[in-house]
Amino acid sequence: MRNFLLELKNRKVIKVGIAYLLGAWLVLQLADVVFPAIGLSDKAVTLVFGILAVGFPLALILSWVFDVTSAGIKRSEDIEETGERSDRSPSIAVIPFPDVSAEQDQEHFCDGLTEELLNVLTCIPGLRVASRTSTFSLKGKQVDLKEVAKKFDVEHILEGSVRKSGNRIRVTAQLIEAATDSHVWSENYDRELDDIFAIQDDIAACILEKLKLELGPARAADASTKNAKAYEYFLRGRGYALARGDHDVDLAATMFEKAVAIDPDFVSSWILLAEMCAVYAMFYERGDSRQRNNEWQDRSRQASDALSRLLPEKAESFLASGYSHLTCDDFDAAARDFEKTIQLDPTIATAHNHLGRALLHLGKLEAAARSFAQATALDEEDFESPFLATSIYEGLGDDDNAKRHARIGLERAERTLADYPDNQRAYYLGSGGLATLGEKARANEWIERALEMNPDDLGTRYNAACFYAMQGDIEKALDCLENSITSRAWIENDADLNALHGHPRYQAVLDALPDLPAT
């Protein structure tokens, strides 16, 4: 509601409404005096009132859709994209804090710290914060701050650095006004690691003061620990989780476990631990090591139980329970938990995404496509969900929706690759979208690029198998499918692999994977 009221203010709807009512009142007063003097009856005044009443909602609608600029009347959405509105809310971009430690071994800690600052700032009503994907594209680069501000359409830049040695940490932060390239505020923090939370709060408080904003009641609770060591593990885990490769997911889970071992009430670590366990167990667990798989199930169940204790009957506890059920291949129960999560908080995009995964495992393809489409709508940086929706819609014969989501996914993947040219996930998922849109040569270039970057990555191999199967290169598809992901249900329900059905090598891949447990 707060964001909606802010948008009403930005689009001048409130100003127009007040001005219209004042103008209408003056017109009625004038009509009441003038009309009798020129011989018009009371019905004329009533007619004027009716016209003004009808015009009021029309004025509000037009003020929402259009705005007056120096270049004439334009749609409000176009103005927001080009940054032409002069009375926009304060805005800021956070450039990732580099590691300037002598050992250069604190990258994940620095990434996590930057991520937490972003989380704090996004909870400030009235402050527009450039997205993480956009700003992290600047990591490790020499940048021109005015160009950064222009690129992300922001007025202020927060930059800094981190130096860590033992239990001491030095954080340098400065707030810069982009238009004048002047320092609005700067500070050096040289403290014990235990003070990391106070440093974050102080940086946020200074930004609030300088931009004349107030912290709203929806302050993020991600830093839900007061233990510095637990928080350090959490920051490292977030850094690994963002990379999303199979090895990274394993390391992220380990970091989150270390965090909750120190602080058993650390909510955010429990949630991310449950998700990492689900992702790894579903897609990356190899071989016949049932004991190893049981390990992932136990770890995920422990996380789910902890969230049920800490946040009973809340969206987060059902989300963690859903992850736990995914780890055990209980997709029916997982779907119920994700549906409950969405019922309690429909804005959690990951809940829609994982609901789609559960439904696809169950063969409920139309419902899975709808879930991925909803995740696409909720998270404008997510290029995975639209490509997953594309694959399903294509298998269902819905070419219009398949191409529409392929275009959405491709635009997002291209935007990501412009900032992260080594993002193999964008390449291998985007190759399928390009094929759907008929760009075969470019699609081949993208999948080959992904395989060159990391030929042993399980996700890359699987998506290459899907791509080659769709192109009719059966042997190449089977070569990639072997030694790829380990979810039998996903493979069986993926329409991209339909061309492989009935092939002995395809059946051999399935036979080597465990069946779903009885439900």
Considering the domain architecture, whether residues 22 and 158 belong to the same structural domain is answered as: no
**Cα distance between residue 387 and residue 402, in whole Å:** 9
Q: Starting from the edge strand earliest in sequence, which strands make up the sheet with 128-129, in order? A: 128-129, 91-94, 156-165, 168-177, 182-192
Residue 360 neighbours by CB distance under 10 Å:
25
Considering the domain architecture, whether residues 185 and 137 belong to the same structural domain is answered as: yes
CB of 497 within 8 A of CB of 470? no
User: What residue has token string 């190759």?
Assistant: 431
Q: Longest Cα pair distance anywhere in the chain, in angstroms?
A: 97
Considering the domain architecture, whether residues 32 and 149 belong to the same structural domain is answered as: no
DSSP 195: G
**Cα distance between residue 58 and residue 64, in whole Å:** 10
3-class DSSP state of 73: strand
User: What residue has token string 């849109």?
Assistant: 437
What is the pLDDT, as a whole number, of residue 126?
A: 76
Considering the domain architecture, whether residues 73 and 99 belong to the same structural domain is answered as: no
Tokens encoding 47 = 């007619």
Q: How many domains does the chain have?
A: 3
CB of 320 within 8 A of CB of 304? yes
In degrees rounded to 5, what are phi and psi of residue 157? -125, 130
Examine the fold and report which residue of 82, 117, 151 is the final residue of a domain before the chain moves on: 82
What is the pLDDT, as a whole number, of residue 19?
A: 82
CB of 436 within 8 A of CB of 496? no
Considering the domain architecture, whether residues 30 and 70 belong to the same structural domain is answered as: yes
* pLDDT per 10-residue tile (average), the chain, 519 residues: 54 76 83 77 79 82 63 49 52 87 74 75 77 74 84 87 81 86 84 72 75 50 67 82 76 94 92 90 61 74 91 90 90 95 91 94 93 91 92 92 95 82 85 92 93 85 89 89 79 86 88 60
* Residues contacting residue 478 through CB under 8 Å, at least 6 positions apart: 465, 500, 503, 505, 506, 509
What is the pLDDT, as a whole number, of residue 216?
A: 45
**Cα distance between residue 409 and residue 390, in whole Å:** 9
CATH number at residue 148: 3.40.50.10610
Considering the domain architecture, whether residues 23 and 110 belong to the same structural domain is answered as: no
Examine the fold and report which residue of 190, 210, 230 is the final residue of a domain before the chain moves on: 210
Q: Would residue 226 count as lying in a domain?
A: no
Q: Would residue 224 count as lying in a domain?
A: no
Domain span including residue 482: 375-519
Tokens encoding 25 = 């009142």
Considering the domain architecture, whether residues 519 and 398 belong to the same structural domain is answered as: yes
Considering the domain architecture, whether residues 196 and 69 belong to the same structural domain is answered as: no
